[in-house]
Structure 1
Amino acid sequence: MSPDHPPGLDLDRLRGLLDAERPGLVSGPLTGRLIEGGRSNLTYAVSDGAARLVVRRPPLGHVLATAHDMKREHRVISALHPTTVPVPRPMLLCEDEDVLGAPFYVMEFVEGTPYRTAGQLAPLGAERTRDAVLSLVDTLVELHAVDPAEVGLDDFGRPEGFLDRQLRRWGKQLDASRGRELAGIDELHATLGRHLPASPAPTVVHGDYRLDNVLIGADDRIKAVLDWEMSTLGDPLTDLGLLVMYCTPLGMPDSPVSTTAEAPGHPSPAELVERYAARSGRDVSALSWYTAFAWFKLAVILEGIHYRYTLGQTVGRGFDRIGDLVPVFIQHGLTTLHSGLQEG
C-alpha cells in the first residue's frame, strides 16, 4: 500500500461514491494520508490537488458493534454545525461497508494545529498560550449552552443515572485489566461511589475534551472541536473535570502521557474552573469529585494499556513506561477527592 493509498482507504471506491452522492465536490485524482494522533478511530486527509476533505472511519479489523459509531459522530457534528460550537462541516455519511469495509463519514478539512504537549505550545509564548487555553474553556461553555432538543439531540443519551453508570462502566474496565495489585485504586473507586454528586441539567458532553482534540488557528482561536466518538447527553461537569485533569502538572517530565500544563503562560486549573463557572453560571462546588473521577478513569485506561503490554499485545515505543504512571494517577485522584470532601 503506497503512502498515497493508506490501509483502510480505497480511494477509487471513495471517488465513485463522492461522484455519485456529491458530484463536483472533487475533480482531480485523489490522494490520501493517515492523520496521526487519533486514539482509536482512523482519520485521513484526502485531496484532489485543490479541495481537501477528511474521512473518518473505525479502526481496521473487528470492532464492537456499539464502538466507533460513525453514524453517531456524524449526527452530533451535523447537529452542532449550525450553532456557535466550532465543528467541521459534515459532507457525507456512508453506512455501506462495501465501500471502505466499514461505515465512515466525510467532513471538511479545517486548517489548525492540535497542540499535544507543553513543548509544542512553548513557541507560542506565554500570552498566546494563555489565550488558546482560555478559549478552550469558552468553547466548552458554548457547547454546554446548546439546548439538545433545539438541535435534535434530545434522545442522544440517557442522562438519568449518568454518573453512576459511568462509575460502574470504568469499574468493570478495571476488573478486566487486573494483572497486579494497585494500591488505592479500589479505595478511590469506592469513595467516588459513596459521594456521587447531584448532576446539573444534562447537556451534550464531548467525553474527551482537551487541547489536543481541538484545532487552534493562527489567531489562537479554536477552529474545530474534533473526536466526538465519546459524546452523549450527560453531566457537563464531567467534561470540565477531565479538562482540569489534563491541565494539572503531573510532575513527571519524561512521562509517556503528557499534559500541557507546564507550558509558560498556561492558566492554572483553578483559573479555568473560575472562568467556566463565571461564563456558564453553573455550580462547580463539587468539581473535585469530577476531577478525581477523571484521574480514576485515566488510571483505568492506562492500566488497560499496561495489561496488554504485559501480554505482548502492544507495539511501539513508550508502552514499557505506561505502568509506572498508573499509581501517580491514582494518588492524584485520591488527593483531589479527599481534599474536596474535607472542604465540603
Structure 2
Amino acid sequence: MNKLPGLNDIEITSHASPGAGKSAETILFDVQGNANGSRKRVELVLRCQMEGMELFLNADLRWQYRVVEALSAFSRIAVPELLGIEMDRSVLGVPFFVMKRMPGRVLPQVPNYNLSGWLVDLAPAERERVWLNNVEAIAAVHRLAWRNGFEFMGQLDAGAPGLEQYLNHIARWLDWAADGDEQPTIREALDWLGRNRPAAAPVGLLWGDPTPANTLFGPDLRVTALLDWEMACLGPGEIDLAWFLMFDSFYSRLRGVSRLPGLPDRAQIISAYEQAAGRRVDNIEYYEILALVRFAIIFIRASANFTARNQGEIIDAHTHNPLTAEIARRLSLPVPQPGDGWNRLMSPRHN
C-alpha cells in the first residue's frame, strides 16, 4: 500500500459508510496531513473484500483494481485515481484498496429513486438528461479497443473471448452459487441462452455493472466518474445495455412502482445507445434474458447471506423473486411468484 505522495503525518479525521453496494464494503473517509508546512485534507474511498459473503464467483479486488488501472492508462473514461491495494489480511483483516474520492453523487437504489431522492426533485427534462448521459457513458466504454491494454480481460473463463467465454462463466457461477440446490427456472433459461446464442456477437470492453447507482453525476447532471468495475469483462455491448434496461425495470415495473415522468422509455434508451455507440443494437431480447439470469444468480447468493445473518432462517427468495418470475413469463415457464421470503430479503431490517 503506497502512502499519499507529498503528505506526511497522516491522520484519519472522519469516516462513514454510504450503505451502497452488497458485493464489497465501501467506506468514505477523510485524512489530513502536512504538505509543505501546511495541513491538507484529502477525501478517500476504501473498498474491502467481503470474504465469506461474496456475490460473485472468484471475487477478487485485484481484478477490478487492474481494470481501473488499465482504464486510467489507456482511455479517457473518468474513473477514480487509485492509491494502492493491500492483499495482506494482517492489516485490516481483509484485502482492500484505496482510491481518491471523485466529485459528484450517485443515484441511490434504497430508497427507490422513483419514490424518493434527488431524481424526484428534478424536472422531467433533467431526469431525461441524467438517463441519456448515463447511456452515453456506457457507449463510450464500448467504443474502446479491448486489444489496446485490456487483453488480460480475455481470461475470464474457458472459451473464446466474448460471449462464449461469458456464458461459460455464468454457468460456473450458477453452479457455485446454487451449491447443489435446484434452480429450475434459471437452469432452463441458461439452456435457452445456449441454444439461442447469437452466431456473430461482437467482442468489446464491458463495464459489467452499468447503473445510475454506479455513476457519479455532477451539479450539471453530466457524468463525472464511472464506479464499480468488479464485473467488467469482454463481450457484446448489448450485455451492458440489457443490464441497464433490466435495472430500470427492476426499480419500476418489476416492483410495482411507476417510473418518474421524463425518464426515457426502452425504445428511447436503445436509440440513444445506438447513436452514441455508432452501431445498431442486435438481439436485445436475448441479452435481457441474460441480464435477468445474472441478477437472479446474485439473489441466490443474497439469500444464502440472509440465512447466514439471520440464525439459519431459510427463505425461498433464491427461487421465487421478480427476476425468476420475469424469466418464466418471457420463456413460457411455470412462474415462481415472489412471496414472504422475497419481502423479508428486501426488508431493510434484515439487510
TM-score (norm 2): 0.76
Equivalent in 51, 63, 69 of residue 42 of structure 2: 51
Q: Distance in 1 between matches of 2:48 and 2:302?
A: 22
Does 2:105 match 1:107?
no
2:253 corresponds to which residue?
A: 250
In structure 2, what is the equivalent of residue 40 of structure 1? 23
Q: For 1:313 and 1:28, how far apart are their aligned partners in 2?
A: 35
Q: How big is the shift at 1:329?
A: 2.1
The structure-2 alpha-carbon separation of the partners of 1:266 and 1:144, relative to structure 1 and needing over 3 Å to count, comes to same
Whether 1:314 aligns to 2:312 is: no
Partners of 1:285 and 1:61 in 2: how far apart?
A: 38
1:238 maps to a residue whose letter is I
Deviation at 1:223, TM superposition (A): 1.3
- For 2:324, the equivalent position in structure 1 comes to 330
Bigger mean CA offset, 186-195 vs 65-74: 65-74
Is the alpha carbon distance of 1:63 and 1:308 closer, same or farther for their aligned partners in structure 2, counting shifts above 3 Å?
A: closer
Residue type of the partner of 2:66?
R
- Aligned residue for 1:204, secondary structure, equals strand
Cα distance between partner residues in 1 of 2:57 and 2:317: 27
Q: Which residue of 2 aligns with 1:257?
A: none
Partner of 1:141: 139
Aligned length: 307
CA separation of 1:329/1:177 partners in 2, compared to 1, >3 Å: closer, same or farther?
farther
Q: What letter corresponds to residue 22 of structure 1 in structure 2?
A: P
Gapped runs of 5+ residues in structure 2? Answer: 33-40, 156-160, 333-351
Please list, as runs of the form range in 1=range in 2, the aligned pairs for 1:41-80 lying within 5 A after superposition. 41-48=24-31, 50-59=41-50, 67-80=58-71
The answer to whether 1:96 aligns with 2:94 is no
Q: Counterpart of 2:197?
A: 196
Q: Could you tell me which residue of structure 2 aligns to residue 225 of structure 1?
A: 226
Structure-2 residue corresponding to 1:297: 294
How far apart are 1:175 and its partner, in Å?
4.2
* 1:331–1:38 Cα change, 3 Å: closer
Q: CA deviation at 1:103?
A: 3.0
Q: Of 77, 85, 89, which residue of structure 2 is paired with 1:85?
A: 77
Greater strand content: 2
- The AA in structure 2 aligned to 1:295 is L
Query: Which residue of 2 is the match for residue 125 of structure 1?
Result: 123
1:271 to 268, 271, 290: 268
1:102–1:171 CA distance, 2 compared to 1 (3 A): closer
Q: 1:270-316: CA deviations, max 9, x gaps?
A: 2111111222133422110000111122223324434554xx32349
1:92/1:308 Cα in 2 relative to 1: closer, same or farther (>3 Å)? closer
RMSD: 3.2
Deviations 1:94-128 (A, max 9, x none): 33333223332221111222212212221122111
2:243 partner SS: helix
Question: Identity rate of aligned residues, in percent?
Answer: 23
Q: Is the partner of 2:154 in helix, strand or coil?
A: coil
